[in-house]
Amino acid sequence: MSVRLASFLAVVTALTACQPAPEAPGETETAEPALTIERLHASPSLTGATPRSLTFSPDGSRVTFLRAKDDDASVLDLWAMDIDGGEPYLLVDSQVLAPDERELTEAERQLRERARISSTGIVRYDWDSQGEAILVPLDGDVFHVDVATGQARRLMETPEYETDARISPRGNFVSFVREQNLYVIDLESGEETAITSEGGGLVSFGMAEFVAQEELGRRTGYWWSPDEQYIALARVDESPVDNIQRMEIGADGSARVVDQRYPRAGTDNAIVELFIAERATGTRRQVELAQTDDIYLARVNWASDSATAYVQVLNRMQDQLTILTADPATGEAAPWLVENTDIWINLTNDFRALSDGTVLWTSEDTPGGFRHIQHRAADGSLINQVTSGDWVVGSINSVDMDNSLVYFTGWIETPLERHIYSVPLDGSAAPTRITSGDGRWSARFGRDATRFIGTYSDPQTPPQTALYAVDGSRIRWIEENALVEGHPYAPYLDDHITPQYGTLTAADGTELHYQIFLPADFDPNRQYPAIQYLYGGPHSQQVHRGWQSLRAQMFAQRGYVYFTIDNRGSWNRGREFEGQLRHRMGSVEVEDQLVGLDYLKSLDFVDADRVGIWGWSYGGYMTLMATLQAPDAWAAGVAGAPVTDWTLYDTAYTERYMGHPDANFDGYEQSSVFAHLDSYETPLLLIHGMADDNVIFANSVRLYSELQQQRADFEMMTYPGQRHGVRGEDRSVHLWTMIVNYFNHQLKDEG
Residue, of 150 and 7, whose pLDDT is higher: 150
CA angle in degrees (0–180, nearest 5) for 401-407-409 = 160
Closest CA to 22 of 524, 562, 520, 600: 524
Query: Per-residue pLDDT averaged across 105-122, rounded?
Result: 74
Packed helices 588-602 and 618-629: angle between N→C axes, nearest 10 degrees = 70
First to last CA, the chain: 38
Q: Are 249 and 690 in contact (CB under 8 A)?
A: yes
The pLDDT tens digits of the residues spanning 212-252 come to 999 999 999 999 999 999 999 999 999 999 998 877 777 77
Which residues are annotated as catalytic? 617, 692, 724
Kindly state the average pLDDT of the residues 257-272: 93
Which residues, other chains included, contact 93 with Cβ-Cβ below 8 Å and sequence gap of 6+? Answer: 77
3-class secondary structure per residue, 8-58 = HHHHHHHHHHCCCCCCCCCCCCCCCCCCCHHHHCCCCCCCCCCCEEEEECC
Cβ(312)–Cβ(300) below 8 Å: yes
Instruction: Specify the pLDDT at position 29.
Output: 54
pLDDT digit string, tens, across residues 462-495: 999 999 999 999 999 999 999 999 999 999 999 9
Over residues 617-637, mean pLDDT: 98
Could you report the per-residue pLDDT of 669-687, keeping only the tens digit for each?
999 999 999 999 999 999 9
Q: For 50-167, which CATH superfamily applies?
A: Uncharacterised protein PF15525, DUF4652 (2.40.128.660)
Label residue 402 exposed, middle or buried (CB < 10 Å: 0-12, 13-18, 19+).
exposed
pLDDT number for residue 19: 40
pLDDT of residue 751: 64
pLDDT average, residue stretch 516-529? 96
Q: Whole-number mean pLDDT of the chain?
A: 92
The predicted pLDDT at position 23 comes to: 52
Specify the fold of 33-42+487-748. Rossmann fold (3.40.50)
Asked whether the beta carbons of 724 and 641 are under 8 A apart, the reply is: yes
List pLDDT tens digits, range 684-732: 999 999 989 899 999 999 999 999 999 999 999 999 989 999 999 999 9
Domain ranges of the chain: 33-42+487-748, 50-167, 199-338, 348-480
Q: What is the mean pLDDT of residues 209-214?
A: 95
**Residue 433, pLDDT above cutoff 50:** yes
Whole-number pLDDT of residue 575: 94
> Can you give the pLDDT at residue 11?
35
pLDDT recorded at residue 565: 98
Residue 15 has pLDDT above 80, yes or no: no
Length of the chain in residues, anyone?
751
Tell me if the bond preceding 44 is cis, omega within 30° of 0. Answer: yes
pTM confidence score: 0.92
- When pLDDT is averaged across residues 185-195 and rounded to a whole number, the result is 95
Cα gap 637→614, rounded to integer Å: 5
Considering the domain 348-480, what is its CATH architecture?
Answer: 7 Propeller (2.130)
Strand partners, 361: 374
